[in-house]
Structure 1
């Protein structure tokens, strides 16, 4: 006889049925309690089980008030334990499937350490610093800041409309705060795990690579060793005994006062350029993952430094003065494509690419002064500053090139600093002068000569590479070039590849360097649909304008594959591709020059955070009421916040 039969004989049939019912309910409660925990775990991590996705009715009233007392029962614990294991296995399978659905690539993350990175952390780091996670209502959204931003925008409207706008925006924000619920998604779960991992592993440095849009993980020891190796070059850097910030701040203010007293700048510009709370520039390095031993590219952040405004002032003068000086400079790929597509090279000619080695840090002060003196007639047309004071300022900007690293102050004794505002225009001027000097020295005609910053594209006779390289390397003892010859009858330049086809006809193809990871804004990122759509259309439009028709189809398929790797559905991509009209494709590209174009005085630019339920209402409610040009800059919570903090702390 069984247990329930014995109970029936001893206490009656009714007692036996009640005991059987109790045992059944006890088992059911154990399963439902475990099921409840599974559903709560899914809700916390933002994972939806299949029965919820397929609109199957959810279980309700899982536990009664006295269910906790039954947990002590042995059968209850056994059933609970078994179901817990099954549901845990099911949850892990759901999480794995969800991670796989995000579609990340191994080449988006480069781990140079021996530390094992959990899968959840790899996913969020691989998505990159531009990936956005939607902020949780109330918890992560600074309502006070939103109110302040909205009030600032309303103040730009006509006074007669301000109260109406204020009432509408107040109503929208109030409804959002009261009606919003705390909804988690899987990206929040990943971000929480990534933050926890970064916090517990303070010996890691997470930073973007120098090229290729790759996230790199180094140990603090590796990073400091590479930085120290870089800064030990005594020909470029020198250790300082003390902080020179106050000294350079006084010199900067003295120069600004001199400019104001002589009437070269107005009082407003003088106030802007004068500083009494300057901070030293900071240096950091970006890993060159495409090179052996992965060295660092030094970048100096001059934000808040003593001479940053004076450097910007001089940059504007030089840019305007040399606006028509760059005979060989290409401003963008569209201009390059319009000039070189279907260009016929002379017989016996080939294409080569020359690349200046560390151009910025190899531009000497003496060379810059010599060029300015020779071309002073240009500079004097855009400024009334006399040449002696102008050269004094240039010399001061070179001498004030210093930075701090781990509490040590280091001066850059040679070259322009990477990160300085004046460095790009000086590099462009030097390269233009170099080309004007070297091209006439070549013992042959050069039908193609194009320059973009430190990259050159030349067409030369097939046996004259060494001669060309020697002429360019002899211009200045510090500026040296490396040559890249044709590979499969083509050489890369900008984001194109110039290919020499049959009949020596040059045709352009869209090109990405082998170091490129192909990472763009991910489909799952908290960016507006308009931004994602414009990104896709802009890339397709760019390819259509650059590529020769012979290479267009292959380039489009390549771009489609890249966006598919970023999580975009093929149907969505095809719809964006086919929405491009023939007028948009065949329009003549607008060629930009290096001349500074100041925005119109009536244009106003404002920003609001991208909060899907709220931002659209505020934008719709305010835009039609103002006669302004609006630019909505979306503030998103990304991994870059912790990446930058970790990087600068090092």
Structure 2
């Protein structure tokens, strides 16, 4: 049975076909059967397993493992066409097709994840844009910028890193990691707050592409090593252990306080002041002096910018949602805030604990208004809301805190009314081991956080939740019994943590589990995880502004020849526009030499042939390439896989002008696999062409 937890805004459910609602109501991480033969995933699988093999310098182990892996891939390709399709997979395939067609015919609808509760939101694109514009019109938080400031911030970032290196405050490797030449403007997007009236949006700015992202992470690490928080709780489990060992004094009650939009309201003057006050501990974890450190922090905050619908904005207040510094800066200012409030009130606070911006307090019953006023008086930007104990119960984190008759506290596992209850569905195309781990972790969580319930009550909650996610009862019972009998057993790893290598590879059903097993046997020091790339989230609307092809990096690209049917395939870890500029520069140099009267046979022209196969084709055939029609074939987040991906694409394209030496680094063991993949890809293309 499929769960449906979709929130409709100004739309009727009847407008959307049943198969579409069924598919979209699944978790965004629900993995689907590949719609077509997964040739692209196989390319990435080859490239990333090869990078794992290179971690061991013994060629015998490399060759043995490579042969075992290629044998697995050969078997998979052979079985793929003959693999039986169960009714469920057929339904999912039909639902995928209908969803794709429905969204194509209804561009006025956008599908996106909710801010909380793991829900899926369907709303009108026009309404989404209106709500985002309303957010960005807040002149106290944002201001418009005339042009893209990326180059300015990138230059400033690299200059700061250069100064740190020149002063010998960081080493060359750190400087290399912190500098960037491929930054692009971050794209803001909004996540609907489905639990609030009128469906407001929470602004999120993914800062991974911003010029100061790596520098922000570096500064964040210094803060994390230095700040000692006396009020923080690490997680729900540690808070549960703490709160179950305290007693509420007579005439006192429990309350919780929550800051309204803390990240975007963090005052910069508080950050500077509290950084100076904490410098005694910060200086022990960095060689940077205070003035330069403050300059770097200011730069990381001032470089919070983004774009929305081709308009550039700068955030003038607080820290962005998505900036690595935001969580630690909230900790930095919250500690002095609490200390100041506790000093200025005239009544005792018996208990106070904090998780990011959520506070738990035990105070005298008649002091609720005073404590709220005291916290809200600290700074006009930082305002709190209060939640009071009701009938001896208070919700905090993932628990309900329950006052007992003797004023002790016990807890129960708690989910908000907005929560969809979705975990990873058992029918998702994920490894079985992952599903078992999810079920086991959920069971352990409910058990640990429910000190007020009997085992029967806990088990009823667990069974109800997991069955809702289609987990079979036999698996639930097995995980429950294992948790009760082997709770304290911990797995050990023979390789020390410092020596382990962590890698991930694409998950392809019927193939990846065999490869993972081989790698664990042959490379015990490598911890291999899998990632699913074809998930329900692929059908979610791309609400962020698209990044132009020329501003992408770590890509495999293809340039067609203007005079024949051949093309050039290349790769670049820099921005594509920079690489194309290099190609254009070589072509311009060739044209200059020819215009000066030199023949094609002149040594000055022949020397250009050594630069790339593209310019070599221009010289040998007297042809030219159309750089404006460059097409991106593939991309990867893992730079070490880029060169092998390029060789794979060149190998399987018979119409390239690339030199034979361009694929010399491709191991001969892969030849048969690449031929089989290309055969299936051509067969698939023929089917598509016949349909069209």
Residue 283 in 1 paired to residue 183 in 2? no
Q: Which residue of 1 aligns with 2:523?
A: 626
Q: Distance in 1 between matches of 2:112 and 2:26?
A: 13
Residue 161 in 1 paired to residue 161 in 2? no
Q: Distance in 2 between matches of 1:476 and 1:140?
A: 57
**Displacement after TM superposition at 1:629 (Å):** 3.8
Q: Distance in 1 between matches of 2:498 and 2:403?
A: 47
1:364 is aligned, of 251, 256, 267, to 267
**Displacement after TM superposition at 1:427 (Å):** 0.5
Q: Distance in 1 between matches of 2:458 and 2:155?
A: 55
Q: TM-score, normalised by structure 1?
A: 0.79
Q: Which residue of 2 aligns with 1:609?
A: 506
Q: Which residue of 2 aligns with 1:250?
A: 155
Residue 124 in 1 paired to residue 23 in 2? yes
Q: Report the secondary structure of 1:251's partner residue.
A: helix
Residue 219 in 1 paired to residue 118 in 2? no
Provide Cα deviations, 1:107-165, integer angstroms capped at 9, x if missing partner.
Answer: 34445435711100001100021101132673566332222222222222332211111
Q: Which residue of 2 aligns with 1:474?
A: 377
Q: Distance in 1 between matches of 2:207 and 2:19?
A: 35
Provide Cα deviations, 1:20-46, integer angstroms capped at 9, x if missing partner.
Answer: xxxxxxxxxxxxxxxxxxxxxxxxxxx
2:465 is aligned, of 546, 562, 574, to 562
Q: Which residue of 2 aligns with 1:637?
A: 534
Q: Which residue of 1 aligns with 2:364?
A: 461
Q: Distance in 1 between matches of 2:155 and 2:544?
A: 30
Q: Distance in 1 between matches of 2:473 and 2:545?
A: 40
Task: Please say if residues 31 and 429 of structure 2, whose CA atoms lie closer than 8 Å, have aligned partners that are also in contact.
Answer: yes
Task: Please say if residues 108 and 213 of structure 1, whose CA atoms lie closer than 8 Å, have aligned partners that are also in contact.
Answer: no
Q: Distance in 2 between matches of 1:387 and 1:433?
A: 19
Task: Please say if residues 113 and 120 of structure 2, whose CA atoms lie closer than 8 Å, have aligned partners that are also in contact.
Answer: yes
Q: Which residue of 1 aligns with 2:628?
A: none
Instruction: After TM superposition, list the pairs within 5 Å mapping 1:431-442 onto structure 2.
Output: 431-442=334-345
Task: Please say if residues 137 and 180 of structure 1, whose CA atoms lie closer than 8 Å, have aligned partners that are also in contact.
Answer: no
Q: Which residue of 1 aligns with 2:401?
A: 498
Q: Distance in 2 between matches of 1:111 and 1:193?
A: 21
Instruction: After TM superposition, list the pairs within 5 Å mapping 1:122-201 onto structure 2.
Output: 122-135=21-34, 138-139=37-38, 142-157=41-56, 158-181=58-81, 183-184=84-85, 185=89, 186-201=91-106
Task: Please say if residues 135 and 141 of structure 1, whose CA atoms lie closer than 8 Å, have aligned partners that are also in contact.
Answer: no
Provide Cα deviations, 1:202-221, integer angstroms capped at 9, x if missing partner.
Answer: 22211100000000011110
2:232 is aligned, of 313, 320, 329, to 329
Q: Distance in 1 between matches of 2:11 and 2:534?
A: 26
Q: Which runs of 5+ in 2 are unaligned?
A: 491-495, 548-692
**Displacement after TM superposition at 1:282 (Å):** 1.1
1:113 is aligned, of 11, 16, 19, to 11
Provide Cα deviations, 1:611-630, integer angstroms capped at 9, x if missing partner.
Answer: 23212222222321223142
Task: Please say if residues 520 and 526 of structure 2, whose CA atoms lie closer than 8 Å, have aligned partners that are also in contact.
Answer: no
Q: Which residue of 2 aligns with 1:444?
A: 347
133-142 or 186-195, which deviates more: 133-142
1:352 is aligned, of 247, 255, 268, to 255
Q: Distance in 2 between matches of 1:193 and 1:413?
A: 44
Q: Distance in 2 between matches of 1:348 and 1:583?
A: 42
Bigger Rg, structure 1 or 2: 1
Q: Distance in 2 between matches of 1:222 and 1:141?
A: 36
Instruction: After TM superposition, list the pairs within 5 Å mapping 1:36-51 onto structure 2.
Output: none
Instruction: After TM superposition, list the pairs within 5 Å mapping 1:61-80 onto structure 2.
Output: none
Q: Report the secondary structure of 1:613's partner residue.
A: coil
Task: Please say if residues 205 and 647 of structure 1, whose CA atoms lie closer than 8 Å, have aligned partners that are also in contact.
Answer: no
Residue 509 in 1 paired to residue 408 in 2? no
Q: Which residue of 1 aligns with 2:641?
A: none
**Displacement after TM superposition at 1:103 (Å):** 2.6
Q: Report the secondary structure of 1:645's partner residue.
A: coil
Q: Distance in 2 between matches of 1:140 and 1:196?
A: 23
Q: Report the secondary structure of 1:611's partner residue.
A: coil
Q: Which runs of 5+ in 1 are unaligned?
A: 1-101, 589-598
**Displacement after TM superposition at 1:342 (Å):** 4.3
Provide Cα deviations, 1:212-250, integer angstroms capped at 9, x if missing partner.
Answer: 000001111000000011111111111112221111112
Task: Please say if residues 203 and 321 of structure 2, whose CA atoms lie closer than 8 Å, have aligned partners that are also in contact.
Answer: yes
Q: Which residue of 1 aligns with 2:142?
A: 237
Q: Report the secondary structure of 2:363's partner residue.
A: strand
Residue 104 in 1 paired to residue 9 in 2? no
Q: How many pairs align?
A: 535
**Displacement after TM superposition at 1:313 (Å):** 0.8
Call closer, same or farther: CA 1:418–1:217 in 2, change over 3 Å. Answer: same
Q: TM-score, normalised by structure 2?
A: 0.74
Provide Cα deviations, 1:51-90, integer angstroms capped at 9, x if missing partner.
Answer: xxxxxxxxxxxxxxxxxxxxxxxxxxxxxxxxxxxxxxxx
Q: Report the secondary structure of 2:529's partner residue.
A: coil
Q: Report the secondary structure of 1:446's partner residue.
A: coil
Q: Distance in 1 between matches of 2:366 and 2:321?
A: 36
Q: Which residue of 2 aligns with 1:424?
A: 327
Call closer, same or farther: CA 1:538–1:421 in 2, change over 3 Å. Answer: same
**Displacement after TM superposition at 1:602 (Å):** 1.4
Q: Which residue of 2 aligns with 1:310?
A: 215
Q: Which residue of 2 aligns with 1:413?
A: 316
Q: Distance in 1 between matches of 2:208 and 2:190?
A: 16
Task: Please say if residues 509 and 555 of structure 1, whose CA atoms lie closer than 8 Å, have aligned partners that are also in contact.
Answer: no
Call closer, same or farther: CA 1:583–1:447 in 2, change over 3 Å. Answer: farther
